[in-house]
Amino acid sequence: MDLLVLSLVVRWILGWLLCARLPRLPEAEPQQQAPSLSVLIPARNEEHSLPHLLAALQQQTLKPQEVIVIDDHSSDGTARCARAAGVQVLQPPPLPTGWCGKTWALHHGSCSSCGELLLFLDADTEPGPQFLERIVAAQQRLGGLVSVQPFHRTEKAYEQLSVLFNLVGLMAVPLGEQAGVAFGPAMVTSRSDYERVGGHGAVADKVVEDWFLAHVYERAGLPVSAYIGAGQIAYRMYPGGLGDLVVGFDKNFATAAGEVRWPRMLAVLLWLSGLFWMAWALPASLLGWPLVGNPDPLANLVIYGAYALQLLLLSRQVGRFSWITLLFPVPVLFFLTVFLLAIFNLERGSVSWKGRQFPTR
């Protein structure tokens, strides 16, 4: 076995190791005297997604004390959908300098709520019937901030392109009890802990507020735990089309990449480099393109197949991805394109999302 093949095998093994621990939210019931729960939903132009979430909340085995939709100055029927579902609708004052829309919305939502526990849910999430019960039980047992990354439900072909972003986002961070990372789509905390750390006011200007809120909790000596949501909570990211998908991942990539700890980032980059290499090596060996290493198409096909199978099996834990894993050079090219765009936006210092400009520094 030559050194190049050996290095590709080592990088392939790294992929399995990075995904060896993707814990799901434990199945448990809240303590007998469950605290009152406020569900806070920031929503900006979410009239198509919001009804699914509000319907799912009505089916929960644990009933929240209140559900508040914070309408972040939507230009569509978001507020009308929420009122039709019978939940409270709140619109914050105009967005001031130094705040992002989501942090401003959740700050006002928390101030207007009365529950002992605060559950923040993105408008595009779709929780299963026992989700509130399980996440509340986890918070009661662990304390601090508990969050869950939803399972990515894909429908259209372009959504399959997000496979590497979904997978790398979980490879790059530790998960489980006291992991030190938080996922914004579904987070729960006690009101006392939230107020102790300064709430969303402490991360007012952060686009990826969940990452930085986790740091704030840790600095206060509070635990931060995180899980994956397969089988318990899902969402459909960026149903508005390929453009939204590119800008959405670019926004997160540009602002969160620097927060990943370097040993894990190095391991992820090594795994990605093996995937990138095989995305070139197989077509190059078949078509006679320039190639360093073994030009034998059969040898490259075997290694390509190993990476494709790995990507298929690993990605099933984080989203509904299928045929795209067999054609992984396509999402590799997409990943690199968004990565370069993120670097450009880091240099430029801002990115546009839902009609607003957000800083990336």
- Read out DSSP for 248-285? HHHHHHHHHGGGS-HHHHHHHHHHHHHHHHHHHHHHHH
In the predicted structure, residue 357 carries a pLDDT above the cut 80: no
Average pLDDT estimate for 156-172: 94
Close Cβ partners of 152 (under 8 Å, ≥ 6 residues apart): 159, 162, 166, 234, 235, 236, 237, 318, 319, 320, 321
Q: Is residue 126 part of a domain?
A: yes
Q: Is residue 24 part of a domain?
A: no
Query: In angstroms, rounded to a whole number, what is the distance separating the alpha carbons of residues 114 and 90?
Result: 14
Q: pTM here?
A: 0.93
**Tokens 């089916």 — which residue?**
59
Other Cβ atoms closer than 10 A to 35:
15
Identify the CATH number of the domain in which residue 72 sits.
3.90.550.10
Average pLDDT estimate for 103-129: 97
Q: Domain boundary at 182, 204, 239, which? A: 239
Other Cβ atoms closer than 10 A to 141:
14
Close Cβ partners of 135 (under 8 Å, ≥ 6 residues apart): 25, 119, 146, 148, 186, 188
Whether residue 235 is found in the same domain as residue 279: no
Q: Is residue 352 part of a domain?
A: yes
In the predicted structure, residue 347 carries a pLDDT above the cut 80: no
Least confident of 69-73, 161-165, 259-263, 332-336: 259-263
Of 60, 30, 23, which Cα lies nearest the Cα of 229? Answer: 23
Q: What pLDDT, in 10s, does the model give residues 26-84?
A: 998 888 787 999 999 999 999 999 999 999 999 999 999 999 999 999 999 999 999 99
Whether residue 205 is found in the same domain as residue 302: no
Q: Is residue 141 part of a domain?
A: yes
Average pLDDT estimate for 191-202: 98
Q: How confident is the model at residue 315 (pLDDT cuts 50, 70, 90)?
A: very high
Whether residue 76 is found in the same domain as residue 194: yes
DSSP summary character for residue 242? H
Rounded to the nearest integer, the mean pLDDT of the chain is 92
Beta strands in the chain (DSSP E): 37-43, 66-71, 88-90, 117-121, 125-127, 145-149, 151-152, 186-190, 224-228, 233-235, 350-353, 356-359
Domain, as residue range, for 233: 37-160+171-239
Give the pLDDT confidence score for residue 359 in this predicted structure: 66
Give the pLDDT confidence score for residue 29 in this predicted structure: 85
Give the pLDDT confidence score for residue 247 in this predicted structure: 83
Amino acid at 186: A
The total domain count for the chain is 2
Whether residue 68 is found in the same domain as residue 187: yes
Whether residue 231 is found in the same domain as residue 266: no
Torsion sign, CA atoms 210, 212, 216, 218:
positive
Q: What pLDDT, in 10s, does the model give residues 222-272?
A: 999 999 999 999 999 999 899 889 888 887 776 666 667 788 889 999 999
Under 8 Å between Cβ of 64 and 37: yes
188: left (phi over 0), alpha (psi -120 to 50) or beta: beta
Instruction: Report the run of H or E that residue 15 belongs to, with start and end.
Output: helix 3-18
Q: What pLDDT, in 10s, does the model give residues 276-292?
A: 999 999 999 999 998 88
